[in-house]
Chain A
Amino acid sequence: MTLLDWALLALYFGGLVLIGVQTIKRIEDSHDFAVAGNRIVWPVFFGSLAAAFLGGGASIGNAGAAYADGYVYMFAFFAFAVQTLLVGAFVAPRLKRYAGAHTVGDVMDEHYGRAARLLTGVLSIALCAGILGAQALAIGTVVNATIKVETVPAILIGMGIVVLYSTFGGAWAVIQTDMLQFVFLGVFLPVALLIGIAKSGGAAELVASVPDLHTSFLGNWTWVAFVGVFVAFLLGETLVPPYAQRTFSTPDSRHARIGMMLSGVFAFAFFFVAASLGLVALNLFPGIAADQALPTIVMELMPVGLVGLLVAALLAVVMSTASSYLNSIAVVFTKDIYQPFVNPDVGPRQRLWMERALSVVVGAGATVFAVTVPSIVDALLYSYSLWAPTVIIPLLGAVLFNVRSSAAALAAIVAGGTVTAVWTWGVNEPFGVTGLIAGVLANLVTFAAVAAATRPPSAPAPSVVPVPTSEEI
């Protein structure tokens, strides 16, 4: 890295801190801290959501998988974009019916009661903590793989900045820094691809130089393997706490629908760019480790100046995800656990300061665990596989069909979680069926059966407060 590259990287970090400082004045209470006062219009929702879900897996992981196996992993990854499109079209607009909602637990409580809120809150926090810790580790990995700085100081600096702006500016800072990070990753990774194609002698030469299997639909995968990964991407991150929280931050259903659907369309294109970078690496740098594909392109192919910007783009991918999950942990703990079960009389100002304190404590904790005991992060990441088999079906039942059976929700959460755990870690996923698929099926069957058995003679009218759409206004 030259002095210019270091200066540009420092400029990026300075921009994040500046945004954090400037957004402090927009935070007056917990509502601003959690959902930015419902002021986030669709372009900002689109960009910030894309920055949040385009993490290390979608960029470095995707490029590495394409390096090893070709476009097949990208086609499986498209399931995430399909899910985002579907949720944007059918679920996100309806989430805006829940006035004052900040968390998935708010919706679950409205339909299924306090126990469902508590379970959803605990699952949300475990999931977010695991992903936050993984992102902290990823900061160290990215920096070490590119500019060869030791992982510990890299994690400390990167997470320090994330905690700083997340604590002071809450959702306002997280969303606004996401926008800066969105521009970095959405401009400089495609620029890297175009440079890589030029260095390969052109697109036609690049395609001709890689094995045919790498550009085929299935590559060397079997259909069973493809479907397993496809379903995992289709369901695994559906409406996880940061995405739901971001949806709640929009002013109305129109902004929620447009922003989320466009981010789904954008994801298809971004996944293609990242995977194609893997093919460039395969052509120009055969024999490297697959997960080094993208870092190698950055360090070996980019001209002076672009190296610093691309390292910033790779860090943007990771840091935007980290700050989103950090903010969600603070909000979910306060809204779904502390306020309803510990101190119901907590005021909005008190809640704000509690969320800020939690951001510091959780951010520091994630950093310490990532540096000293990464196995704890690994353990927490198991909760990632529990989200889809527990919460999603009852949540969709509530939002799409106005189901109000708490027995159905609780039974489904317990059944889905138990079957996933036993199928995955007890019997080691027999018949090639993943724990996620088995758990979702158990969750669905239990929910439908108990909901049908406990259905009242006439369904009560929704007690949620309808919020007019912008068209109605």
Chain B
Amino acid sequence: MLPFLLYAVPVLVIVVTLYIGFLGWKFYLDEVVRGGDAQ
């Protein structure tokens, strides 16, 4: 179990981080770079 987790957990953390980072990047473009035009 532990050897499996040692691979699965870091991979999961990377995937989640990249997905949230992508959503954060879209938010940054909308709200900061374009100044929140949709507001």
- How many residues belonging to B are interface residues under a CB distance threshold of 8 Å? 28
Q: Which of A172, A182, A194, A202 contacts B17 (CB 8 A)?
A: A182
B28 touches A176 (CB 8 A): yes
Residues of B within 8 A of A215 (CB): 2
Within 8 A of B (CB), among A389-441: none
Given A26-B31, A41-B27, A273 and B21 touching (CB < 8 A)? no
Binary A-proximity of B13-39 (CB < 8 A = 1, otherwise 0):
110111011011101100111011001
Residues of B within 8 A of A207 (CB): 2-3, 6
A interface SS class: helix
A272 touches B17 (CB 8 A): no
B13 touches A270 (CB 8 A): yes
A186 touches B17 (CB 8 A): yes
> How many residue-residue contacts, CB under 8 A, span A and B?
95
Q: How far is the CA of A207 from the CA of B31 in the complex (A)?
A: 46
Binary B-proximity of A300-337 (CB < 8 A = 1, otherwise 0):
00000000000000000000000000000000000000
Given A179-B28, A203-B3, A194 and B13 touching (CB < 8 A)? no
Distance to closest chain A CB from B11 (angstroms): 7
Asked if A469 lies at the interface with its beta carbon under 8 angstroms from chain B, I say: no
Residues of A within 8 A of B5 (CB): 272
Given A41-B27, A44-B27, A270-B13, A187 and B18 touching (CB < 8 A)? yes
16 further interface pairs, Cβ-Cβ under 8 Å (given A47-B20, A182-B17, A183-B24): A25-B32, A43-B23, A47-B24, A172-B32, A179-B24, A182-B20, A183-B21, A187-B21, A190-B9, A190-B11, A193-B6, A194-B11, A207-B6, A269-B9, A269-B12, A269-B13
Q: Please give the residue numbers on chain B whose beta carbons come within 8 Å of chain A beta carbons, in ascending order.
A: 2-7, 9-14, 16-18, 20-21, 23-25, 27-28, 31-33, 35-36, 39
